Chains A and B, each alone.
Chain A
Amino acid sequence: MAEPCHASPGTPVGFLTDTTLCIGCKACEVACKQWNQLPADEPLTGRGLSGLSYDNTVDLGAETWRHVSFVEVAAEPSVTHGSPVTAWLMMSDVCKHCVHAGCMEACPTGAIIRTEFDTVFIQPDVCNGCGYCVPACPFGVPQLSDEAHIARKCTLCYDRLRGGLEPACAKACPTDSIRFGPVAELRVEAALRVEQLRAAGQGQAVVYGDTRVGGTGGIGGLNALFVLTAPPETYHLPAKPALPGDRAAGSYATTLVAAAGIAAAALVALGPRR
């Protein structure tokens, strides 16, 4: 198994989360919260048992930067016949650190930056809580914190990277399902892994996070890659998301056309002829 990797400025680093090695222990979730000192979800008054398999944190959010989803796959989706589970897919979700990040484009304050490690980072002292990055992320990653009312998400453990350490989640993962390293290397590893899985009969195995799946539509790929063995939607991931900022120009243009139309109407309605 891999030796821990130390990040050096100028080399893009990221994650490769191989779901086929995940055992759903949630050590990544806990390590993340511990290192980043994130509070637990409403511990005493929280929602309690979610009923969603073994997933009780349910989603990524302002205070949950790694989240393991548990997908019970039944042979036939029928409750009446008991539908025995044939597979239990687990995926540790995280910020995708997009090559072209929707959140970063949306951010009006410059709080969201690319670091020297090519990761996407929200500067907490610059973020003003406008919340626009939240709907601008096609993966549902950043969220406004209740308390501070600023947007928060995975920092890819920027402080640890600066200190020569790998991110807490990758460090804690007992099966190396979460790998940390230079994105270029991870891409090669992911491709090889998928090839291996396909050769072993996992026909649906796919790298999530290249420009064909996951990092599509102007996103230009993800720095946090995933190896999946079922369609992305099974893991609650969008298959072909697009960069929302790409829609702005068209919207401005049509608005200006409309303005021109109104101007023409005004010239008619308010003009000297009448």
Chain B
Amino acid sequence: MFLQDLARSDCIVIMGANMAENHPVGFRFVMEARERGAEVIHVDPRFTRTSAAATRHVPVRAGSDLAFLGGLINHVLTHDRWFEPFVRHYTNAAVIVDKAFLDTEDLDGVFSGYDPTTGTYDPATWRLPQLEERDKPRSNPATDPTLQHPRCVFQVLKRHFARYTPDLVAKVCGVPEADFLAVANAICDNSGRDRTTAFAYSVAWTQHTTGTQIIACCAILQLLLGNLGRPGGGIMALRGHATIQGSTDIPTLFNLLPGYLPMPTADSAQATLGGYLAEATPPTGWWSNTPKYMVSLLKAYYGPAASEDDEFGYRHLPRIGGDYSFQRMVPMMLDREIRGLFCMGQNPAVGGQNAKLARRGLATLDWLVVRDAFEIESATFWRDGPEARNGEQDPASVATEVFLLPAALTAEKEGSYTNTQRLVQWHDRAVDPPADTRSEAWFVHELARRVRQLYREEGGPGSEQLAAMTWDYPTLSNGEPDLDAVVREINGYVVSDGAPVSGFTELAADGSTACGCWIYAGMLDRDGVNHARRRVAGGLADLEWGWSWPANRRTLYNRASADPDGRPWSERKAWVWWDETTARWVGHDVPDFPATKPPDYRPALGAGGVDALPGDAPFIMLADGLGQLFASSLKDGPLPTHYEPYESPVENALHPRRRRNPAAIPVDNARNRYDRSSGRESPFPHVLTTYRLTEHHTGGGMTRFVPWLAELQPEGFAEIDPVLARAAGVGNRDWVVIASPRGSITVRALVTGRVKPLTVEGRTVHQVGLPWHFGWGGIARGPVANELTALVEDPNSLIHEGKSATCSVRRASDAEIAAAREWSRHG
């Protein structure tokens, strides 16, 4: 869904996000909804600015989100509140699961296929029958439209969540039954034909070892309630920061190519383009077009020289053989596998999990390039960091050569933002950057040109790859590369005449088109006019404001806003519908469905691609066009299961023998120890959660150095509840020492009733909130919160667990206070 659409929601549940604080501009639409009478529920460990604006705040233990959502699913199923026609037609509820599949409920916390030695799953038993297998009449049917078959997804789901009762929710989450039921009733009462409920989440769902499954859990809930693809309904994925959506679309991620094409692996099956495409291309659904997008991408990369005979240059692409996420990069630096690092728009000395280890990694590099607007901590760690101050590491012994290069700010360069709702908005340069400051585009452009020149002259491993790459962006008079040329390449063009394509449906697998990112195709019109520059508000979807991928659609899968027959579910919730007279899908948005495929379309036997999907299968990106209540593509199970965070003060009430996600990926390092204790006697008895404030941005590089922002939150702090403060013998603004197995920090306590002790499993659990913006540089300073956090990964997204860990809290000694004061005084 898109942000403006939240204003049409009848109920908004914000969970795993602090939207008012971190997405204040988009939050205006939540306020609009509230003013129109919508229920706004904030489920969060702390009472934040979002809670203040909500109609209801439900305090919850950090790290227990999945149990809460599972409870809602169970409530919907046991009270028959699910949206029957939606579930029947638009989800895979009827598909029958393999006989060999065993649930966590059968195996006490693991699914079938688990290999305890590697901590990974073999998903063979989770695989659902392919689309072409489903319609074949067999003695052993693949679907049961009555949803009664004991092995159909619907029944499996029911059994899986049966134990997620309000009582369990209370026990695990610390949420009283009445509060839980109020939320459950609110979302049920505000779902169905005439009403829709939206969920909004952000990195407080992703940053868990079960992060992907938490989101999957919400998707299941919204599918059951019929809240996807509909106005005011959906799951609003609030991105962590500006244009991070853009940098996953055209990714800075190691395992993706632009447009969510998988990165080729070193696996021999993907040695050839044919092999790669065979693995990456499903026979049915929209992704059956993968060859068109991949070949067009290769044409964009390798230019006219890329021919079919040469597999369009596929052999030049790098291959991955493992995990190269940030979590892994740190140990790789320590092992000298990585020797040089470009740090652009990131401040790992502060923002990296287990920041001390991250700084050790940086100190092991041969060279480090930091491009930023200010002299951030990642450029000064060797001189001013805690290790240099406490004598742990003599600055002279750090061999890393650090290059600090000044980076232009938004207004000093042109470019685009792709925001949280896939909306691309172009911005011009307002002023020239000062002195030697340059844009990212300039830097990357010059780097590519010069490195290529160097390899051309001197040769070396990889020189062939570099030589094969096209890099012909014209340079403007100010030295900047011509971004129009970059946009033209991203948008895609016909190779023969260079004319921009007007959409990805024009892309071909024969090398006649080139496209840098297929989902952005159509951002330019045929005359090369950039739609991302548009600023015309109007209509329910603001279709003339900027440009939204794919194909300027604002709500994905919006076919689901109409019933199976193509009529709106209700007048009030009309969005996209089938128009009999013109025999087309029409509506307020760009229909996310083949424009002329009628609702009653049934595929011919043996049809492939999108034609294999019937006229009432809205989720066209999926191979069967159906919403997945049971998802076999995830690494840690086809159904979401509650596990405790990697570090937790309590045992797993659901599966006492499986406390943690069995597929979570730890990072083994002597300096990355985990708290494996639990219970009252634990040395780290409290829940620690880290977060951000409105006033600062991530590692603080853009804000802590700016006086106007620094004065608003001038110093690091920890939010603790009054009971814990009393127990620790501290008052408001007093200094406390917060420790985890990785380290400890001395920080001021902000004692507030906004943080509430919870009763979990019959005992009181305190939560400690710690903003992670602060460091030793800039004007607003404070200890680095990430000294405490651990490197550990969600197996699907490879994202760390920043939102729940354990810690201890005690009053700081005079010496510690003196050291902390010294710390915040000068860098």
Contacts and interface: CB of A to CB of B under 8 A. Distances in A.
A and B touch in the complex (CB under 8 A): yes
Interface of A: 1, 21, 23-27, 29-30, 33-34, 39-41, 43-44, 46-49, 51, 53-54, 56-57, 72, 74, 79-85, 87-90, 174-176
B585 interface: no
A49 B59 CA distance: 25
A51 B750 contact: yes
Contacts of A57: 711-712
Contacts of A1: 28, 32
A90 B52 contact: yes
Given A49-B717, A51-B733, A74-B753, A21 B711 contact: no
Could you say which of A41, A57, A81 has the most chain B C-beta atoms within 10 Å of its C-beta?
A: A41
Contacts of B708: 29-30, 33-34, 40
Contacts of B694: 24-26
Given A40-B711, A82-B757, A174-B27, 10 more contacts: A1-B32, A25-B49, A27-B24, A43-B710, A49-B748, A54-B49, A56-B712, A80-B723, A82-B723, A84-B754
Q: Looking at chain B, what size class is its interface with the partner chain?
A: 35 or more
B31 A72 contact: no
A110 B59 CA distance: 55
Contacts of A26: 694-695, 712
A121 to B, nearest CB: 23
Contacts, number: 118
A41 B780 CA distance: 12
B714 A29 contact: no
A56 B713 contact: yes
A190 to B, nearest CB: 15
B25 interface: yes
Contacts of A81: 723
Contacts of A47: 714
B722 interface: yes
A53 B46 CA distance: 13
Contacts of B32: 1
Given A39-B707, A43-B707, A174-B28, A56 B752 contact: no
Contacts of A79: 722, 726
A48 B715 contact: yes
Contacts of A87: 52
Contacts of A51: 732-733, 748, 750
Nearest to A77: B753
B21 interface: yes
A68 to B, nearest CB: 9
Contacts of B752: 53, 72, 85
Contacts of A46: 711, 714
Contacts of A23: 20-21, 24, 27, 31, 49-50, 52-53
B827 to A, nearest CB: 11
Contacts of A176: 28
A49 B714 contact: yes
A44 B706 CA distance: 11
Contact of A175 (B28, B756, B779, B824): B28
B824 A40 contact: no
B367 interface: no
A30 B712 contact: yes
Contacts of A24: 20, 49, 52, 694
Interface of B: 20-21, 24-25, 27-28, 31-32, 35, 47, 49-53, 59, 693-695, 707-715, 717, 721-723, 726, 732-733, 748, 750, 752-754, 756-757, 779, 824
A252 B176 CA distance: 66
A174 B20 CA distance: 10
A175 B31 contact: yes
Contacts of B779: 40, 43-44
A29 B712 contact: yes
B24 A84 contact: no
A162 B709 CA distance: 28
> Is chain A's interface secondary structure helix, strand, loop, or mixed overall?
loop
A39 B733 CA distance: 25
A34 B16 CA distance: 32
Contacts of B695: 26
A88 B723 CA distance: 19
Most chain B CB within 10 A, of A26, A33, A80, is at A26
Given A23-B24, A24-B49, A48-B824, A41 B711 contact: yes
B29 to A, nearest CB: 10
A247 B609 CA distance: 86
Given A1-B32, A30-B709, A43-B711, A82 B49 contact: no
A31 to B, nearest CB: 9
Contacts of A49: 714-715, 717, 733, 748, 750
30 contacts: A21-B35, A23-B50, A23-B52, A24-B49, A24-B694, A25-B24, A25-B694, A30-B708, A30-B709, A30-B712, A39-B707, A40-B710, A43-B710, A44-B779, A49-B714, A49-B748, A49-B750, A54-B713, A57-B711, A83-B753, A84-B47, A84-B753, A85-B47, A87-B52, A88-B47, A88-B754, A90-B49, A174-B25, A175-B28, A176-B28
A174 B24 contact: yes
B28 A83 contact: no
Contacts of B748: 48-49, 51
B27 A175 contact: yes
A175 B715 CA distance: 27
A27 B20 CA distance: 12
Contacts of B710: 40, 43
A88 B712 contact: no
Contacts of B754: 72, 84-85, 88
Given A25-B21, A26-B694, A40-B708, A84 B756 contact: yes
B682 to A, nearest CB: 21
A74 B21 CA distance: 21
A125 to B, nearest CB: 26
A23 B25 CA distance: 10
Contact of A82 (B21, B35, B712, B753): B753
A44 B693 CA distance: 20
A72 B722 CA distance: 13
Nearest to A87: B52
Contacts of B35: 21
Contact of B714 (A48, A84, A90): A48
B717 to A, nearest CB: 6
Contacts of B722: 79-80, 82-83
Contacts of A30: 708-709, 712
A257 to B, nearest CB: 51
A4 to B, nearest CB: 13
Nearest to A47: B714
A25 B51 contact: no
Nearest to B20: A23
A44 B709 CA distance: 13
* Residue in A26, A30, A82, A89 whose Cβ sees the most chain B Cβ within 10 Å: A82
A221 to B, nearest CB: 26
4 smallest CB-CB distances across A and B, nearest first, come from A40-B707, A88-B52, A51-B733, A40-B711
A21, A48, A56 — most chain B CB neighbours (10 Å): A48
A174 B750 CA distance: 27
A194 to B, nearest CB: 14
A1 B4 CA distance: 12
Contacts of B50: 23
Contacts of B53: 23
A82 B51 contact: no
Nearest to A176: B28
A163 B326 CA distance: 49
Given A43-B707, A43-B779, A82 B713 contact: no
Nearest to B24: A25
Nearest to A41: B711
A21 B47 CA distance: 17
B711 to A, nearest CB: 4
B175 to A, nearest CB: 13
A48 B782 CA distance: 10
A43 B713 CA distance: 11
Contacts of A89: 52
